[in-house]
Structure 1
Amino acid sequence: MITTQSRRVLASAVVAAALLAGCASPDVEPTSPTATQGDFPRTVEHFRGATEIPAQPVRVAALDSSYSDAVLLLESELVAHTDYRQDGLPEYLGADRETFAAEAVSVGELSNPSLERLAAINPDVIISAEVRHGELYDQLSAIAPTVFSETTGPTWKDNIRLLAEALGKEVVADAKLAEYEERAQKIGAEINAKHNNPVVSIIRFAGEPTARLYRTTSFSGIVLEDAGIARPDSQLADPENPTNIMNAISPENLHLAEADLIIVSSYDPGDDKDAESVREAAQPFRASRLWDTLEGRKVDVRDEVWMMPVSVQGAHAILDNLAEIFDVDPHRN
């Protein structure tokens, strides 16, 4: 375990590098934490071991977008984040971007965050995942107390609870998750009652020779599961690999996408040339005779909502879509 004293010594080299690089700490006024749960200092057990957090964190650095969302969900101040596919924080976060991330600074791309920039921001705690930044864990821990989950994606609810433990926001996390799950159940119940328990399929074109059918173990699949929405057999959990989130199919197997409602998502790389490549890869599917023979209603949705968020806010955005598609009460407070 890295103690607070040793962290200060280790961080000095990183901070010095930041100053030499011309980085300056942004003028961010700390905000008061809300709904404190438990005592500090505390030790948080996580994927890389145990991290001592000496005082309740106020300024949080999140190096994965799902954790950026989680910081805002837990009503804490986000001071640093990384960018993936787009600059800045996504629109589905709404007014929380101004409330809890008004001074948030990007520290670079998800795949290559700047340690110098991060050190200059001086966060109270850093949150990420082994699958994202495992090779940087020791360097991050030299900057601030660092907590890692093993991965992101399907573990999003557990990851929110891990972050809540690090921030002393367990009460907030439990309330926000319960609120989401209750809303999902209400919307799902109305959909099932009004439309006689429809089966919903999810197909995605991601610029590959195959198309992806998303299983109940994927992010969007978990949201449908929480709503009690039925899924095709081809998109149930993989009995041989429970961590597998999708079923890759060729155009000849398009019948596996059949359902009462077929959600269609296409990866948007944000670049015209790459976007054209995605459309070309999808063409053998969309132009196939089998595509036209699918009896279910096909609805195109925004990829950045159904595939990218992996958060409670993103799950709420999917529920918004479902309520609109099936014409039921969205149960928004």
Structure 2
Amino acid sequence: MLGLFVLGFSVAHAADWPRQIADSRGVHTLDHKPLRIVSTSVTLTGSLLAIDAPVVASGATAPNNRVADENGFLRQWGEIAKQRKLARLYIGEPNAEAVAAQMPDLILISATGGDSALALYDQLSAIAPTLIINYDDKSWQTLLTQLGEITGQEQQAKARISDFNQQLAKVKQQMTLTPQPVSALVYNPAAHSANLWTADSAQGQLLSQLGFTLATLPEGLHASQSQGKRHDIIQLGGENLAAGLNGEALFLF
């Protein structure tokens, strides 16, 4: 099969459907353009909304905090979710029955992260075509392009990326960079630990586009893998926390 290979995901380019898509579990055939997409990953949902994909329901995170609204949807797209009447599947723990109730014709799950429903893959794939999306090793632009091809929203994805590139060029002209290199992280004060963004992460790649350089970890520094092997973060805690934050500036996400 001739097709386009994008970081672990190949999508057949044909004028019409069906499309054959390969992920880590094999090749899947989508007979038609999806009309009812369920996203079990709250991280992926924002990208789907951005390209006007027909996502009807989404998993959620803990509600009513600095990152999530009362529905557990991320604040940067929560209002759009309300306008489009996006249903909340569940908070945290994945639930196959909640997914089935939405009668999806496509289910998307993330390969890694706290919002991954990978453990329910067999149950979900019995409901509808289910694709595994790995977002921990690519820029948001690559992810958006990937989702656009899967959902038939290629042109919308291109338009969003084009708009961003124009804004990026304007912002770069107005910026004065901090001393380089920098350490970019999410800090957890309760555990006295941090997740350090890598150059492979969407956050790290965005900083690079803006002109920043990420600091390199000292040799021999031990990092935790309590969240499994991931490309986008390095887990630092305990005595390694201070040593690992060796940039000339710290960026807290």
- Residues 1:153 and 2:130 aligned together: no
In structure 1, distance between residues paired with 2:27 and 2:103:
21
TM-score when normalising by structure 2: 0.71
- Indicate conservation of the 8 Å contact 2:37/2:56, yes or no: yes
In structure 1, distance between residues paired with 2:243 and 2:16:
55
- 1:202 corresponds in structure 2 to 184
- 2:236 corresponds in structure 1 to 248
- 1:214 corresponds in structure 2 to 197
- 1:322 corresponds in structure 2 to none
User: Aligned partner of 1:123: which letter?
Assistant: P
- 2:97 corresponds in structure 1 to 116
User: Aligned partner of 1:208: which letter?
Assistant: A
Cα distance per residue 1:235-260 (max 9 Å; x no partner): 9xx9xx99362262646863653555
SS at match of 1:143: coil
Distance 1:40 1:180, change over 3 A: same
Cα deviation, residue 184, structure 1:
3.0
Cα deviation, residue 69, structure 1:
0.9
In structure 1, distance between residues paired with 2:162 and 2:87:
30
- Indicate conservation of the 8 Å contact 2:105/2:128, yes or no: yes
Distance 1:251 1:211, change over 3 A: farther
- 1:226 corresponds in structure 2 to 209
Cα distance per residue 1:260-291 (max 9 Å; x no partner): 54223xxxxxxxxxxxxxxxxxxxxxxxxxxx
- Give percent identity, aligned residues only: 21
Alignment of 1:316-331 (within 5 A): none
Cα deviation, residue 72, structure 1:
0.1
In structure 1, distance between residues paired with 2:171 and 2:157:
21
- 2:163 corresponds in structure 1 to 179
Cα deviation, residue 189, structure 1:
4.1
In structure 1, distance between residues paired with 2:211 and 2:217:
17
SS at match of 2:126: helix
Cα deviation, residue 148, structure 1:
1.5
Distance 1:118 1:40, change over 3 A: same
Distance 1:250 1:186, change over 3 A: farther
- 1:56 corresponds in structure 2 to 33
Cα distance per residue 1:138-168 (max 9 Å; x no partner): 322222222212x333335343333222211
Which consecutive unaligned segments of at least 5 residues does structure 2 have? 1-13, 64-70, 222-228
User: Aligned partner of 1:171: which letter?
Assistant: Q
Structure with the largest fraction of strand: 2
- 2:245 corresponds in structure 1 to 257
RMSD: 3.1
- Indicate conservation of the 8 Å contact 1:64/1:110, yes or no: no
In structure 2, distance between residues paired with 1:253 and 1:159:
30
- 1:141 corresponds in structure 2 to 125
- Indicate conservation of the 8 Å contact 1:127/1:163, yes or no: no
User: Aligned partner of 1:133: which letter?
Assistant: A
SS at match of 1:91: coil
Distance 1:141 1:210, change over 3 A: closer
Cα deviation, residue 126, structure 1:
1.0
Cα distance per residue 1:205-249 (max 9 Å; x no partner): 2233444443333332222112122333349xx9xx993622626
SS at match of 2:199: coil
- 2:109 corresponds in structure 1 to 128
Cα distance per residue 1:111-145 (max 9 Å; x no partner): 322x2222221122111134423332232222222
TM-score when normalising by structure 1: 0.56
SS at match of 1:171: helix
Q: Which runs of 4+ in 1 moved over 6 A?
A: none
- Indicate conservation of the 8 Å contact 2:136/2:230, yes or no: no
- 1:107 corresponds in structure 2 to 89
**Aligned residue pairs: how many?**
219
Please say which structure displays the higher CA radius of gyration: 1
